[in-house]
Every structure is written in C-alpha cells, then in structure tokens.
Structure 1
Amino acid sequence: MGHWIDISQPLHNGMAHWPGDEAFSFNLSATREETGSVNIGQLSTSIHIGTHVDAPFHFIEDGKKTNELDINLYIGRAKLIDLSGEERITTALLDQFPLQNVKRLLIKTSSEPKPKHFPTRVPVISEDVPLYLKKCGVELIGVDFPSVDELDSKALPIHHKLHQHNIHILENIVVHDIVQGDYELIALPLRIEGGDGSPVRAVIRKLEGGGA
C-alpha cells in the first residue's frame, strides 16, 4: 500500500467558515515563559469548520449525536471519483462509475481549493441521488465543498434524504490533486457528547490495484 495522504483542511485563524458561525480561533492562553514549563493552547470554533462530519442531530432534533455514531463507518475502503467542474451531481453522472457495493464514496469537484474564501455556490446534488447511492450500498458520502445542500437552503432536502437512506455525511475534504481510484479512508469524528458533528483529520491511502 502507498503512504497516507492528508485530505483535511488545515485549521488556522482566518480560515473560511460558515457565515454566522463562530470562526476558528487558536491562541496560547499561557506560554512556556509564563508557566515555567509548557505552552498551553486554547481554541474556539464552530463544530462545522474545515473538514468535518455532520451528525444527524445537526438537522434532526432526535437524530444521533456525534458520540453515538458508529466509528467503523469512518474507517475502511473508499472510492474517489472525479467530477471536476460539474455544477450538478446527477445519477446519470454517477452511473458512469462502478459504484456497486461501494460503502464510502468520495467526490472530487474542484481543482482549486480556496481555504480562506467561503464559496458563494457549490455543486447541486440532484434529489434522486441519495436513493441511487442507497441502492449502490453507499453508507458515507464525502464531498469537497461545505454542504451537500445548496448554501442558502433551510429545508436541507439532501441532508434529510441521505439520512432517510442511512447515508452519513463528510464535508470539505481536500482532494483537488488526488487521482480517482480506490483508497483506504480514516476520518474519525471526535467523541463529543451531545455534538451535532465534529471536525476530522481525514486521511486516505491508495489500495493496490486501485488506480483510475
């Protein structure tokens, strides 16, 4: 197998965040000079910062919370497909790829990440896609943009349809320079009790014979 590749956004002050959400902030609350022994960091942020998972509780009042998610879902074989430049993700596009029995599907749409700029639009996922993915066996979808729904959506139809078909959500992966193929994925959420999601350190490793 190949080496591990980091597909998560670096977390840093000034990075893009959801409008209205708390921005990411890291600072030293105490320095080694002040304590005599150690630096002590402090951070505050929205849970939905950078590369992150959505727990169902994010959009459903009685949905599973972050600490209730099955961690096995976020570790294992994944397929990355390249839909670069597409403005709409449709079943017709997905039908061009061998997705049967793919449990974890990662979708690449961008060739130029802009971590300091929140996008004004994202690719639109057609409303029949969740059912199509369910029939393929998909249980986790990962995308390289901040929401599986349109940015101004309040109803969040794709979030809800994915949940109805037991498909979990990973957003803001960084795969612009990675070729499509089969990989091993690790994208573990933090064990946040009562959480509605979690930032993740997402990494992938090419599987033997997993080329484009």
Structure 2
Amino acid sequence: MTQILDLSHDLAPGMYTHPGLPGPEHEAFRSREDYRRSTGTTFQVDRVCMVGNTGTYLDSPFHRFADGTDLAGVPLAAVADVPLVLVDARGGRAVGADVLAGALGDEDVEGAAVLVRTDGDARWGSEAYAADAPFLTGDAAAWLAERRPTLVGIDSVNIDDLDDTVRPVHTTLLGAGVLVLEHLTGLAALPARGARLHAVPLAWHGLGTWPVRAYALVDGPA
C-alpha cells in the first residue's frame, strides 16, 4: 500500500515565513454575494498577493541567475516522481561535505532528490525559526553539485547561512542546474531510501521561485 506523506507547510494570511519578506494575503476578487446577485449561483474568485518565496517553495536557476532557467523551463521529470534520498544531519548547525559524505558515501544520487533533515522546521511560524538556523556549507554544495542530483532540499529557513550574503549554496547548486527546495517539514516520517518526491511548481515564465505542495510516496506492506 502506498502512503502519501505531506512535506509542506500550510499557508495563512500574514504568516511569518522568512526575515524581511511579507506574509501572503488574499481577498475575494468576486465574492459569493457578487455571484449570487448576478447569476443566482455562488462562487468565489480569489486574488492572491505574495512573494514567490512563501511557504515550502522551489528555486529554479533564474532565482539566482538572470539567464538561468525559469519555472516554466523546469522539466516535470526533475520535480515529479523523483527518487528520494534522505540525509539525517541533525545535531549541528552547519552541514558540511563531511556530513554528506558520511551519510551517502559513494552512493549514486544522480537524478535523485537529496533532502537534508535538520529538524529546523520545529520553530516554523515564528521569528525564532530564522535564529541560528541550520544550513549547508559551500563545500557541501560543491560536493553535491559534482554528484548531479536533480534537486536538494532542506527543512530550514534557507539552504544558505542567512549571515552569508554571498549565498554560496544557491550559487553553486543553481549554477549547476540543481534545483533548491526550502522550508520542508515532516522529514522525520521519511525512510532513508525508497520514497519518491513530488514538488511541482507552476510553469510560470519569468519567475524563479514559487510555492509547491511537496509530498512523498512511500510504498509499504498492503
């Protein structure tokens, strides 16, 4: 029997997601009452206002590079039904290449989704979420880029150290065409191997980042 595990945070108006970025907002563009008066039936059409970096979201190369692939150019094969490899990196703030090498060794992760569990999502929704948050180091990004996963994700506020404005992990991974998936949650429920990830954004031209409903499919006994 296949189990579906949700790896995404819920969204709500005004929520805290990332330092310096506004929370999402929405309103009825055409309300149920508008429809009732004009047609006798009721619907609601909503207008949504939010930055692309809201909730659990995917970064394409265009997020970092003006000539990089945007969301519309992300192939579905890179974000749908992708073999998932989980790295348990709990216990330290900076996740370096040594941690990844210790967890993955010589394992072939080309074309896989490498998700890094730090349990940083435990403080989601408050300003404490961004304080001393776990992140990958530049050498970890270089180590991963050489092994060509389709994407790398983390259950933290940012895959980079927020204090490092150079953003070496985004630069290295997105420069190598490796997608970045941030603000994951629920990684504790995943097996180390064998699950498959779905994290599909809208195919939007000219945008580099957008929320996804990330989830994993895990096969188990019937």
Partner of 1:84: 90
Using a 3 Å threshold, how does the CA distance of structure 1 residues 120 and 57 change in structure 2: closer, same or farther?
A: same
Q: Distance in 1 between matches of 2:50 and 2:213?
A: 15
TM-score (structure 2 length as normaliser): 0.85
Aligned ranges for residues 185-196 of structure 1 at < 5 Å?
Answer: 185-196=197-208
8 A contact 1:81–1:180 mirrored in 2: no
2:17 is the counterpart of 1:17: yes
Structure 1 residue 65, shift from structure 2 partner: 1.2
TM-score (structure 1 length as normaliser): 0.88
CA-to-partner distance for each residue in 1:65-86, whole Å, 9 max, x for gaps? 1111122111211112222232
1:5 aligns to what SS in structure 2?
strand
Structure 1 residue 203, shift from structure 2 partner: 0.6
Structure 1 residue 62, shift from structure 2 partner: 1.5
Structure 1 residue 96, shift from structure 2 partner: 2.4
Partner of 1:158: 169
8 A contact 1:14–1:116 mirrored in 2: no
Q: Distance in 1 between matches of 2:16 and 2:210?
A: 16
Alignment length (residue pairs) = 209
Higher mean C-alpha deviation, range 66-75 or range 17-26: 17-26
Which of the residues 73, 77, 98 maps onto 1:72? 77
Larger radius of gyration: 2
Partner of 2:149: 138
Structure 1 residue 111, shift from structure 2 partner: 6.3
8 A contact 1:108–1:175 mirrored in 2: no
8 A contact 1:108–1:143 mirrored in 2: yes
Using a 3 Å threshold, how does the CA distance of structure 1 residues 111 and 176 change in structure 2: closer, same or farther?
A: farther
Q: Distance in 1 between matches of 2:88 and 2:35?
A: 50
- How much is the aligned-residue C-alpha RMSD, in angstroms? 2.1
CA-to-partner distance for each residue in 1:38-81, whole Å, 9 max, x for gaps? 12222110000010011212121221111111221112111122
Q: Distance in 1 between matches of 2:29 and 2:91?
A: 43
Flag structure 2 segments of 5+ consecutive residues without an equivalent: 37-41
Flag structure 1 segments of 5+ consecutive residues without an equivalent: none
Letter in 1 for 2:101: D
